[in-house]
Amino acid sequence: FSSEKYGVKRKSFGVLQPRDIDYFKSILGEDRVVTDESDVLPFNIDWIKNCRGQSKVVLKPKTTEEVSKILSYCNGKRLAVCPQGGNTGLVGGSVPVFDEIVLNFNLMNKIISLDEISGALVCESGCVLENLDDYVRERNLIMPLDLGAKGSCHIGGNVSTNAGGLRLLRYGNLHGSVLGLEAVKADGTVLDCLRTLKKDNTGYHLKHLFIGSEGTLGVVTKVAIHCPALPKAVSLGFFGVENFENILNLYKRAKTSLGEILSAFEMADNGSVSSTVKNLKLSNPISDYPFYVLVETHGSDETHDSEKLSRFLSEGMESGVIVDGTVTSEPAKMKTIWNIRESIAGAGLVEGYSFKYDVSIPLRNYYDLVELLRDRLKDHQAKVYGYGHVGDGNIHINVIVPEYTKNMYSMLEPYIFEEVAKLKGSISAEHGVGFRKPQFIHYSKDESALQLMKDLKKSMDPNGILNPYKVLPD
């Protein structure tokens, strides 16, 4: 259990009683109150299998009113609740630590409206990101975010984690794209901030409290989000590069040469790509290189855009910054290349236990931590892979070991966070703090900021029932 592994003690919440189950059944009916141990199990385990809780019940509301009734009841009885979307979170935030009630949004999956002129989409929080993207694409729009977990993650989970993803560089983060939302507070109060306006300065922008607060301040039930226009032309380049310095060089060139059409600039080192290709039996369209760069364009003129990207490749090769590469606008080929990049997250699980880090570091030092870690772990059986969103200064580091050991854990933490703090980076660039990092949050937040976070929590959830043990340190 993660509580034993990470040494956390249960707080004095109420303990679920048969009468509580009866109450939930009276609101939701028998089917939407899951208590069978084997049915509950998948909701207790996170995607990366680092954390496992001991919940006895999963509740599956279909409406905001049901959510409100559940929370009001739990608040009254001091029963702790763990909100859960698609359960693809990577920091243990989406699963209970002890016996918290799982509040799952799978059945709140209706699209409410789409304004095809403004691009404002309104939907329930349990809509799967890929389903939303398919829906808006048929209407010449796209979702403003895309990530490897799109087939399972929910828009409510994305909002609650302020998910970044593969095109943040172009379309910005969710604090910009989310137009409004509906949320339910811990005491059951429904907060209606579900506006679709781009501009609304009537006082505090309360929606931001729920974007990235990982289910600790309230539960998101509906989301209004701005969808950009579907690009008429998409091209993708996959390049082999000799050293990290050349990736930075290439990024600088991409911003000037590709300018307004640049939509993604991602990197992965040799270990990330070769292990993914090997473990998942994929194929790499180019040969073996120390580093790989993936550059995508979203524009409106296919000939112009693909010529621009091809020129970018040939100029890069002439100057020696790119060793080899391929450029394509064919959807199937683009999918194959994206699939390699998007599969890195899970490919390590085939080899063993994965310690995952997700940090922001100034670009100059972006890859330093990977090298430091390789040196630190050289006498251990550990593989260190680095990959990520160069355009956002966000690197992911996976340390793959045969199995979890306390010794390896203490070799990695807090060492990594200390190094990130020295570089004035963030210990969580996009995955959040969740259960895995509250005790390290001070490396990225000063005492006064942390106090304000605690004050907000106290004011919005005085009994602390929403996602306890997550985000905030004790």
Q: Which is nearer to ligand FAD, 62 or 431 (CB)?
A: 431
Among 71, 163, 178, 247, binds ligand FAD (CB under 6 A): 163
Among 53, 61, 86, 231, binds ligand FAD (CB under 6 A): 86
DSSP assigned state of 354: E
DSSP states of 124-181 = ETT-BHHHHHHHHHTTTB--S---TTTTT-BHHHHHHHT---TTHHHH--HHHHEEEE
How many residues appear in the chain? 474
Binding-site partner at residue 94 among ligand FAD, ligand MLT, none, CB < 5 to 8 Å by type: ligand FAD
Residue 113 CA from chain centroid, whole number: 25
**Which residues inside 387-426 make contact with ligand MLT, applying CB under 6 A?**
388, 396
Binding-site partner at residue 28 among ligand MLT, ligand FAD, none, CB < 5 to 8 Å by type: none
Binding-site partner at residue 467 among ligand FAD, ligand MLT, none, CB < 5 to 8 Å by type: ligand FAD
First to last CA, the chain: 20
Binding-site partner at residue 396 among ligand FAD, ligand MLT, none, CB < 5 to 8 Å by type: ligand MLT
Q: Which two tokens stand for residue 49?
A: 């299998």
Among 161, 235, 263, 354, binds ligand FAD (CB under 6 A): 161
**Which residues inside 419-458 make contact with ligand MLT, applying CB under 6 A?**
430
Size of the site for ligand MLT (CB under 6 A): 7
Rounded CA separation 167/424 (Å): 24
Residue nearest to ligand MLT (CB): 345
State residue 191 phi and psi, 5-degree precision.
-105, 115
Over the window 113 to 152, marking each residue x when it contacts ligand MLT by CB under 6 A and - when it does not, the resulting string is -----------------------------------x----
* Residue 320 three-state SS: coil
Rounded CA separation 293/318 (Å): 17
Among 61, 119, 144, 164, binds ligand FAD (CB under 6 A): 164
Residue 166 CA from chain centroid, whole number: 11
Q: Which of 17, 111, 25 is nearest to 66 (CA)?
A: 25
User: Binding of ligand MLT at residue 46 (CB under 6 A)?
Assistant: no
Rounded CA separation 383/262 (Å): 32
Size of the site for ligand FAD (CB under 6 A): 38
Residue type at position 385? Y
Task: Single out the segment in contact with ligand FAD by CB under 6 A; choices: 132-140, 148-156, 170-178, 410-418.
Answer: 148-156
**Which residues inside 250-279 make contact with ligand FAD, applying CB under 6 A?**
none
Q: Which of 390, 385, 400 is nearest to 429 (CA)?
A: 390
Residue ranges in contact with ligand FAD by CB under 6 A? 47, 82-90, 93-94, 105, 125, 147-149, 153-154, 156-158, 160-161, 163-165, 214-215, 219-220, 345-346, 430-431, 434, 467, 470
